[in-house]
C-alpha cells in the first residue's frame, strides 16, 4: 500500500514538473498553467517548511 501511495506521489511530481516546463515554453493550455502554479507553490511551501531552509535564510548555515 505504501509503495502505491509513493508511486502516485512520484507520478504527480513528474507531471507537475512537466507542466512547469510546458508553461515555461509559453504554449501551455490554461489547465497546465494552473498545475504549474500549484506545483511551484507546493515547492515553495516545502522549502519554507524544511528546517535547513531556515538556517539558509538567517545566514547561520553550517556550511
pLDDT-derived band at 53 (thresholds 50, 70, 90) equals low
Judged on CB neighbours under 10 Å (0-12, 13-18, 19+), 33 is middle
Distance in angstroms (rounded) separating the CA atoms of residues 39 and 23: 12
Residues 18-35 have pLDDT tens digits of: 999 999 999 999 999 999
* DSSP SS3 for 16: helix
Q: What percentage of the chain exceeds 70 in pLDDT?
A: 83
pLDDT for res 56 = 58
Which pLDDT value is given to residue 57? 59
From 12, 45, 15, 46, select the one nearest 32 (Cα to Cα).
Answer: 15
Amino acid at each position: 500500500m505504501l509503495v502505491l501511495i509513493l508511486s502516485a506521489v512520484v507520478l504527480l511530481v513528474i507531471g507537475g514538473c512537466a507542466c512547469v516546463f510546458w508553461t515555461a515554453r509559453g504554449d501551455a493550455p490554461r489547465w497546465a498553467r494552473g498545475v504549474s502554479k500549484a506545483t511551484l507553490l507546493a515547492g515553495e511551501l516545502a522549502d519554507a517548511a524544511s528546517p535547513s531552509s531556515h538556517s539558509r535564510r538567517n545566514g547561520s548555515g553550517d556550511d
